[in-house]
Amino acid sequence: MTLLGLKILKYIKNYVKVNEIPPTRKEMIENLSASADGLNYAINRLEEDQLIKRVPGRSRNIWPV
């Protein structure tokens, strides 16, 4: 797992704990100072490693496992 991947996973888990819904990609990009491409790459890797799951067809669709 990359450092960005670890930051994203921690951010998602904390955000869901506080807000009961996952963050948007825009919120992650802004709060983690990540590029859109870097964020997409890390999210895809996290999903491949089964650390997150995405619910197709919904916004705020990235949930920690």
pLDDT band, residue 1 (cuts 50/70/90): confident
Q: Are 59 and 21 in contact (CB under 8 A)?
A: no
Cα–Cα distance, 20 to 52 (Å, whole number): 15
The domain made up of 3-55 has a fold known as: Arc Repressor Mutant, subunit A (1.10.10)
pLDDT on residue 58: 87
- The pTM for the full model equals 0.91
Residues 23-65 have pLDDT tens digits of 999 999 999 999 999 999 999 999 999 999 999 988 899 999 9
Q: Are 47 and 54 in contact (CB under 8 A)?
A: yes
Domain boundaries, the chain: 3-55
